[in-house]
Structure 1
Amino acid sequence: MKRIAIGCDHIVTDIKNSIREWLMEKGYDVVDFGTYDKTRTHFPIYGKRVGEAVASGKFDLGIVMCGTGVGITNSASKVKGARCVLARDVETAKVAREKFDANIIGVGGRITGIGLIENIIEEFLNTKFDDSKENVEVRDYIDGLISEKANKGEYFEEERKKWNEGYYHD
């Protein structure tokens, strides 16, 4: 069974916990990269954690979520080797896996219902990459757009500094 990395921000912790339990009941090996409660936090931390876990090869696929899914999906995508897609429908999840070899799915817990989130994730997990020459070339080209700078954490240094200075507010 696939090994899944999952993470979220404080806004959707309950939804992430529900999805984690649902996946474990299906037999998936799920590791939770946080956050674990509703204490205010910042999404790039958890997108980066899931992105690094999947890009390392220790996990088959990843799931990230925040209120809209936009922020955490973008942060996960900054990690070299992480191909994260934001999906609000089942077809997007399927095409992302099949044609682009997406390895992380992002969803918005505040704008997508739990039933649809489950359907999106199920399609994502069950779809295989079509490794045609064209699809492999596109995937490899996209992977080449992220520099090694990303995996050194340099993309996130400015965000960490702003967070510590109290720049972000609810």
Structure 2
Amino acid sequence: MAKTVISIGNDHIVTDIKERITEHLKEEGYEVIDNGTYDKLRTHYPIYGKKTAEKVVSGEAKLGVVLCGTGVGISSSADKVPGARVALVRDVAEAEYARKALNANVVAVGGHITGVDLIKAIVDKFLTTEYEETPEHEALIKKIDALEGPKPEQTGNEHFFDEFEKKWEEGYYHD
């Protein structure tokens, strides 16, 4: 049976934590694509978030894990890859929800604000939870996906959300 492939990337601040998570994943039977960085020399973390997400979107890896100090920067860069569904999480329940309801394919965690054992638990839950396809989940994902890509009509348009705000005030949205 083929091993599930996981793509992982990090910034220089949490290289040691990434190495511990990688070792944990291998012990759990996963094959790991380590996109770097590999040392503590200051680097440009968006490179590693992008590489990690690209491996997932291309199908080289089933899921991805990105780590930086807070998780915020690297999650933002990974989420710029079309087709990446990145979830920045702080606990196991969020990791489960991200997979089950949002079909996230990359999990992001802050290595300086989350303990290693909790990161392992978060990653384990994320990797072992399956997406539950329901009409409600599909409708939510459709709304999220509609935001992807360039939207020139939004730039500089202070009235872009007027229609949606009106619908909100009228009680149209129920999610």
Asked if these proteins are the same fold (TM beyond 0.5), I'd say yes
Residue identity opposite 1:66 in structure 2 = C
The 5-angstrom pairing of residues 90-169 of structure 1 reads 90-147=92-149
Structure-1 residue corresponding to 2:52 = 50
- 1:21 maps to which of 23, 39, 42: 23
Larger Rg: 2
- Quote the Cα distance in structure 2 between the aligned partners of 1:140 and 1:81: 12
Q: Could you tell me how far 1:141 is from its partner in structure 2?
A: 3.1
Deviates more, 1:132-141 or 1:96-105: 132-141
Q: TM-score scaled by structure 1?
A: 0.84
Q: Please state whether the residue corresponding to 1:97 is helix, strand or coil.
A: helix
Q: How many residues align structurally?
A: 149
Q: Could you tell me how far 1:140 is from its partner in structure 2?
A: 3.2
Q: Please state whether the residue corresponding to 1:102 is helix, strand or coil.
A: coil
Once superposed, what is the RMSD of the aligned Cα atoms? 1.4
Structure 1 runs of 4+ aligned residues shifted over 3 Å read none
Residue identity opposite 1:125 in structure 2 = L
Q: Please state whether the residue corresponding to 1:100 is helix, strand or coil.
A: coil
- Structure 2 alignment gaps of length 5 or more: 152-175
Contact 1:67 1:110 (8 Å CA) reproduced: yes
Structure-1 residue corresponding to 2:155 = none
Matched, 1:4 2:9: no
Q: Could you tell me how far 1:134 is from its partner in structure 2?
A: 2.0
Matched, 1:37 2:39: yes
Residue identity opposite 2:145 in structure 1 = D
Q: Please state whether the residue corresponding to 1:13 is helix, strand or coil.
A: helix
CA distances 1:30-62 after superposition (whole Å, capped 9, x unpaired): 100010111110111111111111111221100
- Quote the Cα distance in structure 1 between the aligned partners of 2:74 and 2:24: 21
**When you count helix as a share of all residues, which structure comes out higher?**
1
- Quote the Cα distance in structure 2 between the aligned partners of 1:140 and 1:49: 25
- Structure 1 alignment gaps of length 5 or more: 150-170
Contact 1:43 1:71 (8 Å CA) reproduced: yes
Q: Please state whether the residue corresponding to 1:95 is helix, strand or coil.
A: helix
Between the two proteins, what is the percent identity of the paired residues?
53
- Quote the Cα distance in structure 2 between the aligned partners of 1:46 and 1:21: 18
Q: Could you tell me how far 1:148 is from its partner in structure 2?
A: 7.2
